[in-house]
Amino acid sequence: MRLKDKVALITGAGNGIGRETAMLFAQEGAAVVVVDVNDDAGGQTVAAVEAAGGRASYVRADVSKAADCENMVAQAEKAFGKLNVIFNNAGISHKDDDDAITTSEEVWDLTFDINVKGVWLGCKYGIPALRRAGGGSVINTASFVALLGAATPQLAYTASKGAVLAMSRELATVHARENIRVNALCPGPLHTELLMKYLNTPEKKQRRLVHIPMGRFGQAKEIAYAALYLASDESSFVTGTAFSVDGGITAAYTTPE
């Protein structure tokens, strides 16, 4: 088991990448703290983990709120005695996110509150817990759009993920001598509710697909396997990376037909 005796906290674990990662981490021996703002979805993830023979607990948290983030870390240590992995995965992509001209200030602020402030608060309260455990791994969900501009404008989201990448690099440097690794996981376009709600027409889907050399959207479980590597001791010399799992989209200038 690749995460035997480890405790992992995953935000946004009620669905998508978060749920798949919770299932996989538990399968690999970790006790999992499932964090979400949706109690039903979070409870379903815990039930699925336990039904498969794993250990999990649920904590409700709005990651844009400091008190909630402080509490989720405290509850992880209370439930399982320590914290070895924090996966700051919770994020949004707002349907009204567009270019600089048409994106509203409200959409911009909401996106940054969850996608950037939420990651910062997870690190603010999570990193001291990793110190108490003797070290560990921080995984922050960024995106391929932290490295490339998106063909379909989603400026607040793109800027927020660029901020996550920059934050992760600096934290990796700051904490490198403390046995604490920090990496930004950069998924490509995925067949998840988050993206499909945004790419809501065949034309929008095709506009994104044409740039992916593999010619398909990724699956949440494929990102979970990358998170497993970053969480495990197998990645003990990996820190400060933009860890791309993207079907080749960031490597491609043009895509063959």
Residue 256 has pLDDT above 70, yes or no: no
Least confident range of 2-16, 165-179, 242-256: 242-256
- Among residues 71, 104, 204, 88, the alpha carbon closest in space to that of 150 is found at 204
Beta bridge partners of 137: 85, 181
Q: For tokens 């989720």, name the residue.
A: 72
Average pLDDT of the chain? Answer: 95
Least confident range of 97-111, 160-174, 198-212, 230-244: 198-212
Structural Rg of the chain based on CA atoms: 17
CA distances (Å), origin 7, targets 13, 70, 73, 98, 120: 15, 16, 11, 38, 20
What pLDDT is recorded for position 55? 98
Label residue 255 exposed, middle or buried (CB < 10 Å: 0-12, 13-18, 19+). Answer: middle
What average pLDDT does range 10-18 have in this prediction?
97
pLDDT band (50, 70, 90) for residue 207: confident
Portion of the chain with pLDDT greater than 70, in percent? 98
pTM over 0.85: yes
What pLDDT is recorded for position 203? 82
pLDDT tens figures, 138-149: 999 999 999 998
Active-site residues, by number, are: 157
Domains and CATH numbers, the chain: 7-245 (3.40.50.720)
Q: Are 88 and 123 in contact (CB under 8 A)?
A: yes
Q: Are 217 and 187 in contact (CB under 8 A)?
A: no
What pLDDT is recorded for position 254? 63
What pLDDT is recorded for position 201? 85
What average pLDDT does range 59-86 have in this prediction?
98
Residue 218 has pLDDT above 60, yes or no: yes
